[in-house]
Amino acid sequence: MEDKKYAADIDSITKAHALIKPYVHVTPVLSSETLNSIAGKSLFFKCECFQKGGAFKFRGASNAIFSLDEEQAAKGVVTHSSGNHAAALALAAKLRGIPAYIVIPKNAPKCKVENVKRYGGQIIWSEATMQSREETANKVLHETGAVLVHPYNDSRIISGQGTLSLEFLDQVPQLDTLIVPISGGGLISGVTIGAKSMNPAIRVLAAEPKGADDAAQSKASGRIITLPQTDTIADGLRASLGDLTWPVVRDLVDDIITVDDKEIVEAMRYCYEVLKVAIEPSGAIGLAAVLSDKFKRNPAWKDSRNIGIVLSGGNVDLGVLWESLNN
């Protein structure tokens, strides 16, 4: 795979793997005969819900924080995020002993805001729009001189997330297909580059909510499409692709499967009831994709037998979850 033209490559991912090893958990892989029989495939679940901070985001955040030189690090880091990246960056900064300024939109899930507070992040509130988030973050940058760490459109983040695929393929070498949630594209970019460097024949599919299907639309039209608004229970999958993640999605991700919220909630139910794993809606979307008619009926994926599914995170507002299950 010719990966020199992308924001990460196997070298940067391998370096990240060595750098963050002392800090991150090697997350377990679970499987279930019940889910295998429902899917008609062998499914392997990479449980990033058991990562520090409750999601895969800690990988990228650790790589970004621990690759800063002393002078940069002393001024701290700033980001804007409604969720798992915010908590991950706050935790990684705490481990390095540097300040983290976190711009959070007022509509962020309560459990994710609590995580940021727990890890000592300094919260600055913004309006829910991306414009307000970015303007507020820029204001903090100018005031503090801190280093901006974007949630996904950052090569350090992409390389850090790519460490997941090195770990997963080490744990389950026979994987022929990976299914990864897609939002801004940091996770799937890193995972795709890492996985295809190790096994060029591996198939990587993205899973995306129908109510936030900008990546599927972008891939179909060959250019980045941004949506005026999104509507999905998967609060972690509402971002748009960045200029660093889009080329990987365009060139290397094999396809994108979209599912509706009802399918996501159903997949969450399976994870709770069968796997006994607490995950957030965004984390359940890979299983939803495998169980969808779109996946099952596509002859191109008939030979996908050993499928790795990334359960990306477990930070869920239980009140909201119970309501959605009862609707």
> Known catalytic residues?
57, 82
Q: Are 243 and 185 in contact (CB under 8 A)?
A: no
Helix (H/G/I), strand (E/B), else coil: 6: coil
Q: What is the C-alpha separation between 253 and 237, in angstroms, rounded?
A: 17
Sheet holding 100-105, edge to edge: 122-126, 100-105, 77-80, 147-148
Q: Are 180 and 249 in contact (CB under 8 A)?
A: no
- Closest alpha carbon to 25 in 58, 68, 70, 66: 58
Residue ranges in 50-129 assigned as alpha helix (H): 57-66, 70-75, 84-96, 110-118
Phi-psi region of 272 (alpha: psi -120 to 50; beta: other; left: phi over 0): alpha
CA atoms within 13 A on the CB side of 33: 0
